[in-house]
Amino acid sequence: MTQYDPHAHIRIVLVETSHSGNIGAAARAMKNMGLSNLYLVNPASFPDEASYARSSGASEILDRATVVDTLDEAIADCALVMGTSARGRKVPWPVIPPTDCAERAAEQAGNGEVALVFGRENSGLSNEELQRCHYHIHIPSNPDYSSLNLAMAVQVICYEVRMHHLKRLDAQGEETALRPVLQPGDEGWDIKAASVNDVEGFFGHLEDVLVDIDFHRRENPRQLMTRLRRLFQRAHLDQMEINILRGILTAVQKSAGGADRRPEAEQEQE
Ligand code: SAH
């Protein structure tokens, strides 16, 4: 599929990461969510064993990572820069949640490069660095304990970027993991969907049985059949399921001493 992929124009920038394991874990989080451009600003140690160990199968993202000395170098060619922050700063800045960040990133990624910037484990991004950003992104964590592990913050943001992308594909009619699983009537389902006639036959049979066993009174129906209809309609039954259910109803009738109400043809198949 030669579809336009906004992920190619979105980069993750990690500023002065002190634990190289976090770089590896961030690379893994990125690959899981379909992102691959990693920029490292003056990392304490990279490349090294800890980063590769934590990256699991995402080592190619580390191999291809761009290492630079300053944040300015990492974002020089970007049209949109968003910096993440665990807490509010002195000078208010436009702060957006991760979902909005993903939306803006996807919009902009059609026209220019987008940087999502993450700070140091112990002190985050400096005010000067945050002022390089168009928006600040805050993951709405527990206000009493707001700071996530760096790689986990990367994971949350990358997840939102992916969700936004999948929702967009889904809206365009593409098949994505957001689509509900197959159901009767869809191509690929093993049994044909039950027809309205089949389902109505089942509901009639069900009501008869419920009367036979004194669970349901036609003179005082309340909402029983309505609710049972809604329940079974939600399941979108297929023909085999209808046959099984009707078989069960017939067995209940037999053991309750009632009549077999299945169509003659079905009874003869036994
Ligand atoms: N002690 C630092 C937090 C560092 S956490 C501080 O108070 O700023 C390391 C990085 O993870 C942060 O710089 C930010 O990029 C990201 N991060 C952690 N928690 C976050 C949150 N709640 N919202 C957005 N980014 C967060």
Q: How many domains does the chain have?
A: 2
234 C-alpha to ligand 1 centroid (Å): 43
Residue 136: the pLDDT is 96
Q: Ligand 1 centroid to 125 CA: how many Å?
A: 8
pLDDT by residue (tens digit) across 172-201?
888 888 877 788 888 889 999 999 999 999
Q: Which residues line ligand 1 (CB under 6 A)?
A: 84-87, 118-119, 121-125, 137-139, 141, 146-148, 150, 153
The Cα 33–Cα 157 span in angstroms is 10
Whether residue 220 sits in one domain with residue 103: no
Collect all residues with Cβ–Cβ distance below 8 Å to 152 and sequence separation of at least 6.
Answer: 29
**Closest C-alpha residue for ligand 1 atom 15:** 118
CA distance 190 to 186: 9
Distance 124 CA to ligand 1 centre (A): 6
Q: What is the pLDDT of residue 179?
A: 76
116 in the same domain as 154: yes
Question: In CATH, what number is assigned to the domain containing residue 38?
Answer: 3.40.1280.10
**259 assigned to some structural domain:** yes
**For ligand 1, atom 3: residue with the closest CA:** 124
pLDDT of residue 267: 55
Atom of ligand 1 nearest to the CA of 124: 13
Burial bucket for residue 197 (CB in 10 Å: 0-12, 13-18, 19+)? exposed
Residues 27 and 83 both lie in one domain: yes
Whose CA is closest to atom 5 on ligand 1? 121
Q: Which of 41, 100, 147, 149 to mutate to test the pocket of ligand 1 (most atoms within 8 A of CB)?
A: 147
Tell me if 180 is assigned to some domain: no
Q: Which residues of the chain have pLDDT under 70?
A: 1-4, 258-270
Asked if the structure places residue 181 within a domain, the reply is: no
| Shortest-distance Cα residue to atom 26 of ligand 1 | 86
Statement to judge: residues 33 and 148 lie in one domain: yes
Q: Which atom of ligand 1 lies closest to the CA of 141?
A: 22
Residues 48 and 15 in one domain: yes
Query: 214 and 150, same structural domain?
Result: no
Same domain, yes or no: 42 and 160:
yes
83 Cα nearest atom in ligand 1: 15
Q: If you write DSSP's letter for every residue of 54-122 in order, what string do you get? A: HHTT-HHHHHTPEEESSHHHHHTTEEEEEEE-SS--SS---EE-HHHHHHHHHHHHTTSEEEEEE-BTT
Scanning 110-238, the segments in alpha helix (DSSP H) are 127-130, 150-171, 196-212, 224-235
Q: Based on the fold, state whether residues 38 and 114 are members of the same structural domain.
A: yes
Give the CA-trace dihedral at 228, 230, 235, 237, to 10 degrees: 70
217 shares a domain with 146: no
pLDDT tens for residues 123-149? 999 999 999 999 999 999 999 999 999
- Domain of 211? 196-268
Domain boundary among 136, 171, 206: 171
